[in-house]
Structure 1
Amino acid sequence: MSDPILVTENLEKRFGGVVAASEISLSLYPGETLAVIGSNGAGKTTFVNMVTGYLKPSSGTIRFRGRDITGSSPRKTAQAGIRRSFQISQIFPQLTVLENVMIAEIAAADGKGGLRRAALTDARMQTGRAVLDRFGLGQHSDTAVGTLPQGIKKQLDIAMAAINDPALILLDEPTSGVSSDEKIEMMERVIAPLKADDATLLFIEHDMDIVTRFAERTVAFYEGKILADGPTREVLSEDDVRKYVIGGVHA
């Protein structure tokens, strides 16, 4: 087996006297698709926020590709090759789909050359259209994002996170707010191009049908700790997971 792309060791996050995450140790391997499950407040997003630099761990270490990135800023974490989407899409509703992607391209390139000049280049527009086609969004390129259904907005947010082919992508509740009829189709449209590029994926999800369909491995969080970690169907069948996680996942 190859070396892990991401390793966390005894991660802990405290907010005053409240322990939001404790003893979080896991290894994620190149090409894996890992689901993180747990009821609200179980520590899932806290964990992702620590890995992506939005929260500094109170203790513990994070290594990405063998390098210690503990406490790195979101920008430095992204530049290292870790990107993420958010539960609430980080997009500009008044701009078109293509304009949103172009802004994400500029951010991925660290804004060199200035926002306006970079945004107006033909090459950047062509790259943006290629990204949209790759994620099945080409037909929406000139549409204002605010007029689109939630599923398309989520798809766009993930496409923007995938610009420049990061090695690790973390998706925070990618199907949140998406209708049950749209969820599977939306996930298929975003997972396929990411897996075609051998991206390593970690996604937080409350829908067990989505977890079963798309995750090879699942980690269950409970009260800020890892309750179970293993092949998805095995984890979902564990008594404690069924009792404390699946039973309360919508609590």
Structure 2
Amino acid sequence: MSASDHRRAEAAGDPDRPREATRAPLLSARGLRLAFGGVKAADGIDLDVMPGEFLAIIGPNGAGKTTFINMTTGYLRPQAGSIDYDGQPILGLSPRAIVKRGIGRSFQLPQLFSEHTVLENAALAIAAHAGLWSPLTPLLRPRYREEAMALLDRFGLAPLAEARADALNEGARKLADIAMAAALQPRLLLMDEPTSGVAATEKMGIVETLVRVLRDTGVTAVFVEHDMEVVERFADRVAVWSQGRIAALGPPEQVLNDPAVLRDVIGIEPAHHA
């Protein structure tokens, strides 16, 4: 089901997708501020992420999009503000502690063990979730191998299980990186440019796969994205970052037709937008 289908189902009163007003946010950021010298990477960010939604973050380079992800996942600490996850504050926690709370992350550059196979990478991610840090060979005994293969199969990566990570094309590497994050069984997954560097012919298929898997497993997602076709097709809401602030927030059909967004983010004059 596409994002627009989900929005229509919610508007129609689908009991499986209650209206946002009846739900508490899964993630809530308030008053986030962070400056690097004279550059304001976060200048009063207020944002709620609702359970089950796919929220796209768009904006020009340097607008503070990745900074928000870094603050949420414990890699940066804001100079002011708060971040609550599932009703509990998470500022000051380490990245590892935040992962244990249920927040996963994939990076703009895939974080894979390049000298190991895709299957070995999956086994290591599963072991990390279980708190098991043993030599690699014992991890591939039948129990862990079966769980890792099931994970790869959900993401369409089973045919590449025995391939080394450094032999994958960029699309497969991105999908494998997200699969590793999913192995940690997060409730919230933050993805930094999941289609960056992916061939145009592969892009939609990859996003369709990851959206299907995440929706099927009930994972809420926030993703930074530059491809407006991906945003329009798969996001439930879009947040526009500009100079450390949220300049616009709403459903794709509203935000992506905002004259200021068209001009300043997408780079076309509103009069020329079809």
The bucket for the TM-score relative to the shorter chain is over 0.9
Contact 2:128 2:184 in 1 (8 A): no
Output aligned runs, 1:8-87, within 5 Å. Answer: 8-87=29-108
- Aligned with 2:267: secondary structure? helix
Q: Aligned pair count?
A: 247
Which of residues 131, 151, 165 in structure 2 aligns to 1:131? 151
Q: Counterpart of 1:129 in structure 2: which amino acid?
A: M
Q: Counterpart of 2:123 in structure 1: which amino acid?
A: M
**Counterpart-to-counterpart distance in 2, 1:197 and 1:2:** 19
**Counterpart-to-counterpart distance in 1, 2:160 and 2:122:** 12
- Aligned with 2:248: secondary structure? strand
The match for 1:155 is 175
Shift of 1:118: 5.3
Is 1:89 equivalent to 2:110 in the alignment? yes
Q: Counterpart of 2:65 in structure 1: which amino acid?
A: K
Contact 1:106 1:118 in 2 (8 A): no
Contact 1:106 1:115 in 2 (8 A): no
Q: Counterpart of 1:99 in structure 2: which amino acid?
A: E
Contact 2:34 2:79 in 1 (8 A): yes
RMSD of equivalent CA atoms: 1.3
Which of residues 89, 96, 110 in structure 1 aligns to 2:131? 110
Shift of 1:165: 2.4
Shift of 1:80: 0.2
Computing the radius of gyration from Cα coordinates, the structure with the larger value is 2
Q: Counterpart of 1:153 in structure 2: which amino acid?
A: R
Shift of 1:23: 0.7
Structure 2: tracts of 5 or more residues without a match: 1-21, 269-274
Shift of 1:217: 0.4
**Counterpart-to-counterpart distance in 2, 1:77 and 1:193:** 22
Contact 2:32 2:78 in 1 (8 A): yes
Shift of 1:221: 0.3
Q: Counterpart of 1:182 in structure 2: which amino acid?
A: E
The match for 2:8 is none
The match for 1:209 is 229
TM (normalized to structure 1)? 0.95
Which of residues 181, 186, 203 in structure 2 aligns to 1:183? 203
